[in-house]
A and B are shown apart, each in its own frame.
Chain A
Amino acid sequence: MSLVSGARDMGFDDNNNNKNNKDGDDENSSSRTRADDDALSRQMSESSLCATEEEEDDDSKLQLGPQYTIKEHLEKDKDDESLRKWKEQLLGSVDVTNIGETLDPEVRIDSLAIISPGRPDIVLLVPENGNPKGMWFTLKEGSKYNLKFTFHVNNNIVSGLRYTNTVWKTGVKVDRAKEMLGTFSPQLEPYNHVMPEETTPSGMFARGSYSARTKFLDDDNKCYLEINYSFDIRKEWPAL
Chain B
Amino acid sequence: MSKFQSNFNQKIDYVFKVVLIGDSAVGKSQLLARFSRNEFSIESKATIGVEFQTRTLEIDRKTIKAQIWDTAGQERYRAVTSAYYRGAVGAMLVYDITKRQSFDHVARWLEELRGHADKNIVIMLIGNKTDLGTLRAVPTEDAKEFAQRENLFFMETSALDSNNVEPSFLTVLTEIYRIVSKKNLVANEEGESGGDSSLLQGTKIVVAGEETESKGKGCCGTS
Contacts and interface: CB of A to CB of B under 8 A. Distances in A.
B104 A3 contact: yes
Contacts of B108: 2, 4, 59, 62, 64, 160, 219
Interface in B58-86: 71-72, 74-85
A182 B116 contact: yes
B221 interface: no
Given A160-B108, A180-B112, A90 B81 contact: yes
Nearest to B49: A82
Interface string A124-162: 000000000000000000000001000000000101101
Contacts of A29: none
Interface residues of A, number: 56
A4 B107 CA distance: 9
Contact of A174 (B48, B75, B105, B196): B196
A191 B85 CA distance: 15
B41 interface: no
Which of the listed residues B77, B149, B199 has the most CB atoms from chain A within 10 Å of its own CB? B199
B200 interface: yes
Nearest to A84: B49
B51 interface: yes
A52 interface: no
Interface in A62-106: 62, 64-68, 73, 76-77, 80-83, 85-87, 89-93
Contacts of B150: 1
Contact of A68 (B78, B84, B197): B78
B116 A83 contact: no
B196 A183 contact: no
B10 interface: no
B198 A182 contact: no
Nearest to A2: B107
A175 B196 CA distance: 5
Contacts of A76: 77
Contacts of A121: none
Which label, helix, strand, loop or mixed, suits the secondary structure of the B interface? loop
B82 A182 contact: yes
B78 A183 contact: yes
B103 interface: yes
Contacts of B24: 65
Contact of B82 (A62, A184, A196): A184
Contacts of A167: 199-200
A225 interface: no
A4 B202 contact: no
B72 A83 contact: yes
B202 A91 contact: no
B82 A195 contact: no
A77 B83 contact: no
8 nearest interchain CB pairs? Answer: A82-B49, A92-B83, A180-B111, A182-B115, A196-B203, A180-B115, A175-B199, A177-B200
